[in-house]
Amino acid sequence: MRLPLLRTIVPALAALTFTALTSAAHAQEWTRFRGPNGSGLANANLPEQITEKDINWRCKLPGTGHSSPVVWGDRIFVTVTPEGSADSEAKRAVVCVGAKDGKIAWQREYATGIYRKHADNSFASPSCTVDAERVYVWIAGPDKSQLIALTQADGKQVWAVDLGPFKSQHGAGASPIVEKGAVFLQSSQDEPGSFIAAFDPATGKQLWKNEIKSGQHSIATPCFFEGNDGSAQVLSLGDGGLAGFDAKSGSKIWDITKFTVSGYRCVASPVVMEGGLIVAQTGQGQANSEIAVIGGAASGKPAKAYDIVRIGGYVPVPIAVGDLLFLWKENGTVTCTHTKNGEQIWSERAEGPYYSSPICVGGKGGRLYNITRGGDIVVLAAADKFKLIQRFPLAEKNSYATPAVSGGRLYVRTYSQLISIGK
């Protein structure tokens, strides 16, 4: 296979004093889009080959959408655009499904307006985030957007914060996250008004808010990075580049604005790798992609370590497994590189197309799971040699959501169903 166009900007950086935030502290829960710190990494004893016998239940959701499931204990949360009414597209619903039996425990609807979106997007694309007491959801609307907290047990509204109108060419897609004692949300728009902010989980009180550059709407969901002084940084990726904000105060610690030469859009979320390197992916259409790997964030002095051009994806978020970085293109080309320098190890096709982002179960030597837009679970070896383990059909098209893992089970959301796999 053709090697990627690799431009080494600085020598390999020395090992940084870095503590990964994807620790076992949240290993049993899947609290946000793509799991612990957005890493997509999980542990579970899933079957070697998925069969129909491994499906515990299929839940027909009361609507459709692309948001990914989040899990706490015996409760799973997704959002949908409700069906069954003439104004259904102007409504959003948060749905709680029981993890044991797949039955809908409660549903909470909110009226919104219909806004412009990409044909492949849905009005229910942002995923929820959840902690031990509450589930939080961002409801975007053309006249008013809200960040809302509901009780896990019965969906009772605890608080709602009006965030003003949301306007974007492609529609909403970023998800809130709850961690470090706050709920964080990045709201990026095509027009002025983009921001990243933190809110009190119990009351919804705004703890801090920082304006970020508007322009090409970004749907990247933030993640956390720990600095040399032990402070937690919130990583924001968008039209203004990559920036680190202090999680407590909201003050900007650093930014790097010209990490790509293309001016592409940021759709995939940032990813923190071993050694303190950060993956920032941008793209356009289904062919153009540029990835900048950034070092030096721990010391507040970011610098580009290397580039990977063309072979990365646009929508699917990259996944780092140990010293291996896997890049997944929409057309199904999967490429494995070294995390330290971006050198290509292999590049093969896992027939797609894809909008879902891969997750890994079992670490290096384990398995990568992703969902095709046609509704197939594709399983690859998370290894330095390509191996297609399985392709299992779920029989529903327009499946864009990223799987979740919790309690030893794999949860897959298709356009209209939620499916539990693994005993």
Span 313-337, mean pLDDT? 96
Lowest mean pLDDT among 50-54, 69-73, 216-220, 224-228: 216-220
- pLDDT for 160 beyond 60: yes
Instruction: Report yes or no: 375 and 387 within 8 Å, Cβ to Cβ.
Output: no
pLDDT at 4 over 70: no
Query: How many beta carbons lie within 10 A of that of residue 11, not counting itself?
Result: 9
Structure tokens at 135: 């589930």
**What confidence score (pLDDT) does residue 166 get?**
82
Given CA atoms 35, 36, 39, 43 in this order, what sign does their dihedral have? negative
Give the model's pLDDT for residue 53: 96
Encoding tokens for residue 54? 């491994």
Res 335: pLDDT: 97
Instruction: Determine contact, residues 361/42, Cβ cutoff 8 Å.
Output: yes
CA dihedral 200, 107, 219, 371 (to 10 degrees): 130
The answer to whether the beta carbons of residues 319 and 39 sit under 8 Å apart is yes
CA distance 42 to 403: 11
Q: The pTM is what?
A: 0.90
| Residue 100: φ, ψ to 5° | -75, -40
Q: Annotate 115-127 with b (16+ C-beta within 10 A) or e (fewer).
A: bebeeebbbbbbb
Token code pair at residue 57: 């239940």
d(CA 379, CA 390): 5
Distance CA 314, CA 264 (A): 9
How is the chain split into domains, by residue range? 24-421
Q: Is the dihedral of CA 390, 394, 399, 402 positive or negative?
A: negative
Length of the chain: 423
- Grade residue 229 by pLDDT with cuts at 50, 70 and 90: confident
CB of 322 closer than 8 Å to CB of 344: no
Contact indicator for 127, 403 with CB cutoff of 8 Å: no
> Do 272 and 39 touch, CB atoms closer than 8 A?
yes
Q: How confident is the model at residue 118 (pLDDT cuts 50, 70, 90)?
A: low
Per-chain mean pLDDT for the chain: 88
- In the chain, pLDDT over 90 holds for what percent of residues? 68
Domain 24-421 classified CATH 3.40.50.2020?
A: no
The Cβ of residue 53 has, within 10 Å, a number of other Cβ atoms equal to 8
Reported as a pLDDT band with limits 50, 70 and 90, residue 170 is: low
Q: What is the amino acid identity at position 378?
A: V
Cα separation, 236 vs 243, whole angstroms: 5
Host H or E run for residue 17: none
CA 368 to chain centre: 16
If you write DSSP's letter for every residue of 266-323 in order, what string do you get?
--SPPEE-TTS-EEEEEEETTTEEEEEEEE-GGGT--EEEEEEESSS-SSSPPEEETT
* Least confident segment among 3-7, 97-101, 252-256, 414-418: 3-7
Q: Quote the pLDDT of residue 397.
A: 82
How far, in Å, are 259, 304, 322 from residue 363 at the CA level? 29, 26, 7
Q: Please choose, from the candidates 343, 340, 422, 418, the residue with its C-alpha nearest in 3D space to the C-alpha of residue 379.
A: 422
Let me know: does 337 contact 308? Beta carbons within 8 Å: yes
Closest CA to 283 of 308, 301, 300, 305: 308
Q: Please say whether the beta carbons of 126 and 171 come within 8 A.
A: no
- Mean pLDDT across the stretch 390-397? 91
Asked if 384 and 336 count as a contact pair (C-beta separation under 8 A), the reply is: yes
| β pairing state of 182-187 and 177-179 | antiparallel
How far apart CA 216 and CA 201 sit, in angstroms, is: 29
Could you tell me the two tokens for 205? 């009180």
Query: For position 240, what pLDDT does the model report?
Result: 82
Quick one: average pLDDT of 314-338? Answer: 96
**Other CB atoms within 10 A of residue 251 CB:** 9
Mean pLDDT of 79-92: 72
For residue 151, pLDDT over 50 is answered with yes
Report d(CA 254, CA 231) in Å as an integer.
13
Confidence of residue 87 (pLDDT cuts 50, 70, 90): low
What region does 240 belong to: left with phi over 0, alpha with psi -120 to 50, or beta? alpha
Determine what percent of the chain is predicted with pLDDT higher than 70: 88
